[in-house]
Amino acid sequence: MRKYGVNQIGSIMQSEIAEIPTVFSKLIASEAQFGALAGLLKTSDIQSVLVLARGTSDNAAHFLKYLIETQLGLPVGLTSPSSVTIYHSKLHFEKTLVVAISQSGQSTDLVEYTSAAKAGGAKIVAITNDVASPLAKLADHHLELMAGKEIAVAATKTYAAQLLSCLLLVNAWSSTLKNFKSIVAAGEKLLANLGPVNTAVSKCERRNEIVVLGRGFSYPNAREAALKIQETSKFSVQGLSIADYMHGPISALTSDTQVFIMAPNGFPLDSLKGDLEKIRARSPEIFWFGSGALALPGEVVVPGADCENEIYSSVVDSIILQSFALEFARKNGLNPDSPEGLSKVTLTR
């Protein structure tokens, strides 16, 4: 595998992570696109929601699922594009909202599924970074990520923008959230102090297994952190719900395992204590991302955003997980800007 000089790699990914607070500001200022969406949502008889996505965008889809279920109480499912692209199913989606999330808006299976859903009576909202994309043109309403061109293969600023767009979408519907500008300030604060990320990287080894765990609003970031490390450092990493982990995968846990726990500030930490006791019994290396309130001496803590609630903290904490993936790839002499075997747009069917 080709190696790169540490000082020459990752500059694009680093610059795009650094843009995240600016992207947040642009999204918050684009209130008109969310205001127009509010009319569609509040006048339509929507009884259920389906979220359509792949890859990084699928992790943002899980975040939207939690948001809608907790803030609106509506049932939310994740779509199976193959039901249309492989099995050619006819969809019956009256009174259903389909939210399609895609950085490029070009993936063939997402476009085909959206067409079938629209033909089946669904209302379509697309969230993309390209207003001229096929997915954007199919939608009843398009939300632009406002992230500008993203060059690095590993999505960073667009993932963070997807999380905030999901938050603004749900607020347009429910009006239950406020003070979004605090998210911008929290992002700037994290970027100004990435020393703890570098400390965590220095203590993490590529030769040992990494398992990333989260629950609730931190679960999407657990999945995304695992994906980012896999993409940029070229080895398998699991991203799981802590609850699912306790139902079987914990049997593979050893003292060599590096366990990353996503614990955003505001998360109900008491819900972790029982599972944490069982995890610690195997003596793994534990890394905390977010709150270190439950950390023991010797465990690594990467402080996250200190926002007013868990939801906002989860959006901003995308910065530290992406920064970890960047610096870990650099440590291993790999190019996080353009990992071998990957391209920016994946045209799956």
- pLDDT > 80? residue 94: yes
Question: 174 or 23, which is more confident?
Answer: 23
Q: What CATH homologous superfamily does 11-177 map to?
A: Glucose-6-phosphate isomerase like protein; domain 1 (3.40.50.10490)
Range with the lowest mean pLDDT among 2-6, 41-45, 73-77, 182-186? 2-6
pTM score: 0.95
| pLDDT interval class at 339 (50, 70, 90) | confident
pLDDT at position 346 is 61
- pLDDT > 50? residue 300: yes
Q: Are 128 and 144 in contact (CB under 8 A)?
A: yes
Instruction: Quickly tell me which residue has 């959230």 as its tokens.
Output: 177
| pLDDT interval class at 3 (50, 70, 90) | very low
| pLDDT interval class at 150 (50, 70, 90) | very high
| pLDDT interval class at 46 (50, 70, 90) | very high
Query: What are the residue ranges spanned by the domains of the chain?
Result: 11-177, 194-331
Kindly state the percentage of the chain with pLDDT values over 70. 95
- What is the average pLDDT across 43-70? 96
Alpha helix ranges (H) inside the chain: 11-18, 20-29, 31-43, 55-71, 82-85, 108-119, 134-138, 157-174, 181-191, 195-203, 219-233, 242-246, 273-280, 310-316, 318-331
Would the CATH topology of 11-177 be identical to that of 194-331? yes
Q: What CATH homologous superfamily does 194-331 map to?
A: Glucose-6-phosphate isomerase like protein; domain 1 (3.40.50.10490)
At 262 the three-state DSSP class reads strand
Tens digits of residue pLDDT in 172-201: 998 888 889 999 999 999 999 999 999 999
pLDDT at position 281 is 96
Tens digits of residue pLDDT in 121-137: 999 999 999 999 999 99
Average pLDDT, the chain: 94
